[in-house]
Amino acid sequence: MSNIDAVFRFAPSPNGELHLGHAYSALVNFDLARASGGKFLLRHEDIDTARCTPTFERQVEEDLAFLGIEWDEAPRRQSEHMHDYAAALEALAAEDLVYPAFMSRGEIRAHVERFEAEEGRAWPRDPDGAPLYPGLDRHASTGERERRMSDGERFAWRLDVERAIEMVPALTWDEHGASPLGESGAIVARPLEWGDVILGRMDIPTSYHLSVVVDDAIQGVTDVVRGRDLFYATSIHRLLQALLGLTPPRYHHHPLILDADGRKLSKSAGDTSIRSLRKAGLTAEDIRRMVGLSGRPGGPAGDILRRRES
């Protein structure tokens, strides 16, 4: 990964306090950026304006500074770039690759329960375990879509994934870390596993999947280093890059820091938050050691990832 043009990023959502898992991811990105002579960027993924707050954003920056992390450009705040995502969504709409999907969460649940009761088999689920969108309105006529939208019915813009995969050749991405099952190297993208994902909402012209792909391209990110919980989502990211004509970065999915019971840390996991550890008197070096990193921030990073994966 040594490359002076390398661009790394840490992209948290400021909707809670950073915990040890975030600290690990941020430190690894920062160390790798410094070791390669490349850049380290900070991006606030704050499209969910109901849950993201300026206070959490300030705390993210304070926690990173406490850990000895410095970012090389002003942080990018997604809420300030809605026009970039809207343009990408429009480009997909122009190719008929998105449609207004009107089924609410409750309607999806009822549809799935009815299917499972009647058919005696499970409705397909995505890699995160959520039922795939039934897509009953995927092929609605333009007239019907317009009528329902102008009636004020709630909807989300969803990707027509079957149509999308017909438009691009079989896709792979370059994985320098590993999947939860240990796969590495050229990974075949399987976007169909996710079904018709949400790419935009009525009031926000984007979703996590769309904005992460657009931003990584706009910011010239060459190396996406993030937790293995996002490994499978990369199939969708790779598909969106191909549809939008964006250069894919290299990916490195790292192991997650788990709690004492082997569970993924959450933003409400109070005692593993960086702030509470800091208040309890721990130093940045203590936190580096807790997540299995030695040395100083920005120090040699060569064996960090290999060591944690072995």
Catalog residues that contact ligand GLU under the rule CB under 6 A: 11-13, 45, 212, 226, 230
Report the nearest approach of ligand GLU to the CB of residue 86 (Å): 19
Q: Which is nearer to ligand GLU, 34 or 43 (CB)?
A: 43
Contact 134, 106 (CB under 8 A): no
Going from the C-alpha of 52 to that of each of 138, 164, 216, the distances in angstroms are 31, 31, 20
Copy the structure tokens of residue 8: 């790394």
- Tokens at 34, concatenated: 């410094």
CB 153, CB 165: distance < 8 Å = no
Q: How far is the CB of 45 from ligand GLU (least distance, A)?
A: 4
Tell the smallest beta-carbon distance from residue 153 to ligand GLU (Å).
29
Residue 199 main-chain phi, psi, to 5 deg: -115, -15
For ligand GLU, the closer CB: 3 or 266: 266
Nearer to ligand GLU, 67 or 112 (CB): 67
Closest CB 216 distance from ligand GLU, rounded Å: 8
User: If DSSP codes are grouped into helix, strand and coil, which group holds residue 213?
Assistant: helix
Nearest-angstrom CA–CA distance, 243 and 161? 11
- The CA R_g of the chain, rounded to the nearest whole Å, is 20
CA 1 – CA 136 distance, rounded (Å):
45
Angstrom distance (rounded) from CA 188 to CA 13: 28
Helices (H) and strands (E) in the chain, counts: 11, 10
Q: Which amino acid belongs to residue 290?
A: M
| Cβ nearer to ligand GLU, comparing 88 with 103 | 88
By C-beta, is 108 or 241 nearer to ligand GLU?
Answer: 241
DSSP state at residue 247:
P
C-alpha triplet 82, 83, 89: angle, nearest 5°: 90
CB of 236 to ligand GLU, least distance (A): 11
Q: Please identify, using beta-carbon distances, which residue of 45 and 137 lies nearer to ligand GLU.
A: 45
Q: Which is nearer to ligand GLU, 13 or 273 (CB)?
A: 13
Pairing of strands 172-175, 223-227: unpaired
* Closer residue to ligand GLU, CB minimum distance, 76 or 108: 76
Q: How far is the CB of 12 from ligand GLU (least distance, A)?
A: 5
Report yes or no: 59 and 275 within 8 Å, Cβ to Cβ: yes
